[in-house]
Chain A
Amino acid sequence: MSKRDLISIMDYTKEEYLRIMELAARFEKNPNQDLLKGKVVATLFFEPSTRTRLSFETAINRLGGKVIGFSDSHNSSVSKGETLYDTIKMVSNYADLIVIRHPLEGSARYAAEVASVPVINAGDGANQHPSQTLLDMYSIKKTQGTLDNLNIFMVGDLKYGRTVHSLLMAISQFENPIFNFIAPEELQIPKEYKIYLKEKGIRFFEHPEFTDIISEADIVYMTRVQKERFSDPMEYENVKNVFILKNRMLEKTKPNMRILHPLPRINEISRDVDQNEKAYYFQQARNGVFAREAIIAHTLGLD
């Protein structure tokens, strides 16, 4: 049994992505198994994230494991000033696997160095959230049948959206993707990602708003545009309605196209989209449980 952490999406190879997705598919068919019988998994959420935590805890429970942990560091010895080092060393004595969400970047990488058990990064500050990327990829593969030759539209806050950055880098490992970025100028995809795509010879296009070009999309990945991200609040007022997806905008889109959103969504996807068969964001969240079951199995070497 080999210990394998999951800290950053780019730590994993393309083969590992495919392996996890294959496992996720198997878990989807058969989500309740005894794989984690006798095992304890620690979910250490130093900052709250109900969705991710519940998703991981469901995965652990469905695999027959037991959960320990905390959902807010204010209720733990961390509030007394205990270092992350000490917390991880201590929990390594109790649990067979650690899932960590922490507000500081690099915290998961450090936890993995300190821990004697595998560590899964459930989000470290604005840095990585690899389980989200894997469930996004699983959702895309399920609905498109492949991760090759896809036209991926990314909409909203592309500057600060860590899920957007991760997904972009992961999909870039596959054949012939095209990226279309729809975002306000201030929140467009950062230069370093454009350089990354150029170096890999991957085509991408930037748009300041939705246009008919959305008819070419295989995937529309929506993210929220937050007021706090704008240096000028007036600019936010100008653009806040430009990046809202409405049902009538989907008329000319391809039958295989699916709309993804890492959630929570506020108003960027209009409620009238929910009834459209192309709305996939709730199934996407459901896929999260299977993807996390796969990740857990893989990190514990139980696959």
Chain B
Amino acid sequence: MKDSEKNLKKLKVSALKNGTVIDHIPPKFLFKVISILGLDKISEDMITFGNNLDSKAMGSKGIIKISNKFFEDDDINRIALIAPNAKLNIIKDYKVVEKKEVHVPDEVIGIVKCFNPKCITNQEDIETSFKVISKDPLELKCKYCEKITNKDQIFLK
């Protein structure tokens, strides 16, 4: 392979001075993660993302690099339902100062639809709210109808 082709194959981004890298996102959920974390509303700081990249661990992955943004655990754990293996690298002064994983939180607000078609949340404009009664296997108990939505039944709002 010629050098020029090799260069084209690499994802060229400038290194983050300060910010967060979210790696190992399942490709089909990359844009959902962007939306859940509100990154589509950021207008000032630089964001780079790539999708369907080769990954030894996952086969194919998405990655997001956000300048000058650091996440609280509560915020970042909201992506745990769709990107349970996501890895965060916290960058300060071009160096990785911390690595984080995401964890399924104890409560999930919004994000997921209640699987029960007879739940009031599927009829009126109500933010869903679930208690995570089991993390593995994943079981979400709806605050309203009290029924359980499990991993196979998760549909995103």
Q: Please report A residues at the B interface, Cβ cutoff 8 Å.
A: 8, 83-85, 102-107, 109-110, 124-128
Contact = CB atoms under 8 A, between A and B. Distances in A.
A213 to B, nearest CB: 32
B131 interface: no
7 contacts: A104-B120, A105-B118, A105-B120, A107-B120, A109-B143, A110-B126, A127-B145
B13 to A, nearest CB: 45
Contact of B119 (A84, A105, A128): A105
B119 A104 contact: yes
Contacts of A106: 114, 119-121, 142-146
B124 A105 contact: no
Given A105-B118, A125-B118, A83 B124 contact: yes
In the A-B complex, the 5 residue pairs with the closest CB atoms: A106-B144, A105-B145, A106-B145, A106-B120, A107-B120
Classify the secondary structure of B's interface with A.
Answer: loop
Given A104-B118, A105-B116, A105-B119, A125 B145 contact: yes
A83 B124 CA distance: 7
Contacts of A104: 118-120, 123, 145
A110 B120 contact: yes
B32 interface: no
Contact of B120 (A8, A84, A126, A128): A84
Nearest to A104: B120
Interface string B119-141: 11101111000000000000000
Centre residue among A102, A105, A107, A128 by max chain B CB count within 10 A: A105
Interface string B93-133: 00000000000000000000010101111011110000000
A225 B116 CA distance: 24
Contact of B146 (A84, A103, A110, A128): A128
Interface of B: 114, 116, 118-121, 123-126, 142-147
A125 to B, nearest CB: 5
Contacts of B143: 106, 109
Nearest to A111: B120
A8 to B, nearest CB: 7
Nearest to B148: A192
Contacts of B114: 106
B116 to A, nearest CB: 6
B122 to A, nearest CB: 8
B144 to A, nearest CB: 3
A185 B157 CA distance: 37
B124 A110 contact: yes
A8 B144 CA distance: 10
B118 A103 contact: yes
A2 B145 CA distance: 25
A165 to B, nearest CB: 10
Given A106-B144, A110-B120, 16 more contacts: A83-B124, A84-B120, A84-B123, A85-B124, A85-B125, A105-B118, A105-B144, A106-B114, A106-B120, A106-B121, A109-B120, A124-B145, A125-B145, A126-B118, A127-B146, A127-B147
Centre residue among A8, A106, A127, A128 by max chain B CB count within 10 A: A106
A8 B118 contact: no
A128 B143 CA distance: 13
B136 to A, nearest CB: 17
B147 A105 contact: yes
Centre residue among A103, A124, A127 by max chain B CB count within 10 A: A127
B153 to A, nearest CB: 15
